[in-house]
Amino acid sequence: MQAVKLEWDESLLAKYNISGPRYTSYPTALEFNEDYHLADYLHCLHQLSDDKSLSLYIHIPFCQNICYYCGCNKIITKTRSKAEQYVEYLVKEIKLLAKQLGDNPLRQIHWGGGTPTYLSIEQITQIMSAIREVFDVPDEESTEISIEIDPRAIPIEDIKHLANLGFNRMSMGVQDFNEKVQKAVNRIQSFAMTRDMILEARRYGFKSINIDLIYGLPFQTKKTFEQTLALVTDISPDRISVFNYAHLPHRFKPQRRINADDLPSATEKLSIFQYIITFLQQQGYIYIGMDHFAKPDDELAIAQQQGCLHRNFQGYTTHEEYQLIGVGISSIGSVNGQYHQNVRDIPSYYAALEQDKLPLWRGVAVNQDDLIRKKVIFDLICHFELDIHRFEQANDIQFQQYFANEITMMQPFIEDDLLILTEAKLQVTARGRLLIRNICMLFDAYLNELHSINSFSKVI
Ligand code: SF4
């Protein structure tokens, strides 16, 4: 597959800029429900054959300070003892979960939050030891162990300790290096601190280092963001994610501390976005899709070239075949196609574990139609095309017949040159790639049923 090129068409972006899911799952989390019980989850885990590899997500909800743009499920606290107790229960959950599984190898571990590095290196070690005690973790070279780092919340010498524990991938939030912007969102993080942390990580063998940025924050202009991007590319991370800030103060309380008048106008925001795309491609980054860019020799870019890129709750991933299990509050997993999510609050989490129960909140048991649509949506979002013949053979359906309504709905997209449909392929054009969420929405059976699409963020 060729590297993905983008074409910018402002009138089309304006026409299609509605709200839409990010499709880190299908069905999306809005369809998760409490009719999915612990017995369903346990049955699903027991059905898993021993040869299936696992990927473990660990959620650490604590942060020391609030970032005003934040829409995550986190707990702001300076009381460290809260984390001590959480670690104890997390270890208990890991052990309980492992008892439900066979000898499946654990080949991928991802720590997210909140701020995973809110924990001390001793607490992180305690959790990693528990994992190695109850799971079969193959040698460190072949197991991907990644962590989201907040450079403000970790002493630089701990990078070496993380490497010794087997961590070999890292993602770091930056958002913007401009001081005025940082002040307005309450996240002060210098360029030097970020650069030094990344240099240290490289020294200890970390690969696929990612930096997260956000556009659309208060006081950002194209000019200020040019400076931020120049600094970021100077550090030369392997991956860059650039997210669109959605100002939804009615849903996310911290955002009420952002003055809406300080936000860039829609036109300014679009010109920042256009600059991001042009500049990063000029700098040799490949557009992976959605908000993600990677160097050509990074695992994500290689997986996309080889047609084996996949998507899950952490965004794009290289291992479709891994079964995802989650621990910690609000963590989400996916086993045998079904989705499940833990309770979102600490008291319910501790109460379930006190009774030696996995702290499941809700989930969704997918049906055959969900699996078919998921395949279409994930192929389009990862590879911008669907091989119709192969898809028909794998699913024993006639594409034109099965998706007759969707084909009618996609006509305006075809007329606008966003999509090309032939007997052999459904292909997203260079103009359509930035509007991939809209294209995937054509195949989402739930959007018109229960929920308003306004539950999601804008696609651009
Ligand atoms: S953005 Fe990240 S670091 Fe900031 S408050 Fe939210 S979860 Fe914590």
**Domain end (from 324, 355, 377):** 324
Asked if 433 contacts 384 with a C-beta cutoff of 8 angstroms, the reply is: yes
> What residue spans of 283-345 are helical by DSSP H?
299-305
- For the Cβ of 114 lying below 6 angstroms from any atom of ligand 1, the answer is yes
Integer Cα distance of 237 and 215 in angstroms: 18
pLDDT, tens digit, 9 for 90 and up, residues 369-416: 999 999 999 999 999 999 999 999 999 999 999 999 999 999 999 999
Q: Is residue 342 part of a domain?
A: no
Residue with the larger pLDDT of the pair 270 and 94: 94
Q: Could you tell me if 78 and 196 lie in one domain?
A: yes
Residue 38 has pLDDT above 70, yes or no: yes
Q: Is residue 23 part of a domain?
A: no
Residue 448: per-residue pLDDT = 67
Express as a percent the part of the chain with pLDDT over 70: 96
pLDDT, tens digit, 9 for 90 and up, residues 341-358: 999 999 999 999 999 999
Residue 14: per-residue pLDDT = 83
Three-class SS state of 296:
coil
Quick one: three-class SS letters along 391-439?
HHHHHCCCHHHHCHHHHHHCHHHHHCCCEEECCCEEEECCCCHHHHHHH
Q: Could you tell me if 247 and 382 lie in one domain?
A: no
Residue 91 has pLDDT above 70, yes or no: yes
CATH number at residue 382: 1.10.10.920
Residue 450: per-residue pLDDT = 44
Nearest alpha carbon, ligand 1 atom 1: 70
pTM given for the model:
0.93
Q: Could you tell me if 168 and 69 lie in one domain?
A: yes
Residue 456: per-residue pLDDT = 62
| Substitution candidate for ligand 1 out of 59, 62, 66, 67 with most atoms within 8 A of CB | 67
Nearest atom (ligand 1) to Cα of 69: 1
Phi then psi dihedrals of residue 66, to 5 deg: -90, 135
CA–centroid distance for 29 within its chain:
13
Contacts of 261 (CB under 8 A, 6+ apart): none
Could you tell me the residue range of the domain that residue 425 belongs to? 368-455
| Substitution candidate for ligand 1 out of 64, 72, 117, 245 with most atoms within 8 A of CB | 72
Residues in the chain: 460
Q: If you ran DSSP here, which 8-state letter would residue 284 be given?
A: T
Nearest atom (ligand 1) to Cα of 71: 6
**Domain end (from 265, 297, 324):** 324
Report the separation in Å between the CA atom of 72 and the middle of ligand 1, taken as the mean of its atom positions: 7
Q: Could you tell me if 299 and 419 lie in one domain?
A: no
- pLDDT tier at 80 (50, 70, 90 boundaries)? confident
Q: Is residue 7 part of a domain?
A: no
Residue 19: per-residue pLDDT = 78
Report the separation in Å between the CA atom of 66 and the middle of ligand 1, taken as the mean of its atom positions: 6
Q: Could you tell me if 147 and 53 lie in one domain?
A: yes
- For the Cβ of 150 lying below 6 angstroms from any atom of ligand 1, the answer is yes
CATH number at residue 99: 3.80.30.20
Q: Is residue 336 part of a domain?
A: no
Number of domains in the chain: 2
Q: Whose structure tokens read 């929405």?
A: 441
Q: If you ran DSSP here, which 8-state letter would residue 142 be given?
A: T
Residue 62 has pLDDT above 90, yes or no: yes
> Cβ–Cβ contacts within 10 Å for residue 253, how many?
12
**Domain end (from 296, 324, 352):** 324
Nearest atom (ligand 1) to Cα of 63: 8
Q: Could you tell me if 245 and 379 lie in one domain?
A: no
Over range 109-128, report the average pLDDT. Answer: 96
Q: Could you tell me if 154 and 265 lie in one domain?
A: yes
Q: Is residue 203 part of a domain?
A: yes
Q: Is residue 435 part of a domain?
A: yes
User: What average pLDDT does the structure give for the chain?
Assistant: 93
Q: Could you tell me if 271 and 375 lie in one domain?
A: no
Q: Is residue 340 part of a domain?
A: no
Q: Could you tell me if 280 and 188 lie in one domain?
A: yes
Asked if 329 contacts 351 with a C-beta cutoff of 8 angstroms, the reply is: no
Q: Could you tell me if 424 and 302 lie in one domain?
A: no
Residue 455: per-residue pLDDT = 59
- For the Cβ of 113 lying below 6 angstroms from any atom of ligand 1, the answer is yes
Report the separation in Å between the CA atom of 239 and the middle of ligand 1, taken as the mean of its atom positions: 20
pLDDT, tens digit, 9 for 90 and up, residues 124-179: 999 999 999 999 998 767 899 999 999 999 999 999 999 999 999 999 999 999 99
Q: Give the DSSP letter string of 231-280.
A: HHHHH--SEEEEEEP---TTT-GGGGGS-GGGSPPHHHHHHHHHHHHHHH
Q: Is residue 8 part of a domain?
A: no
Closest CA relative to residue 161, chosen from 192, 208, 126: 126
| Substitution candidate for ligand 1 out of 59, 60, 62, 63 with most atoms within 8 A of CB | 63
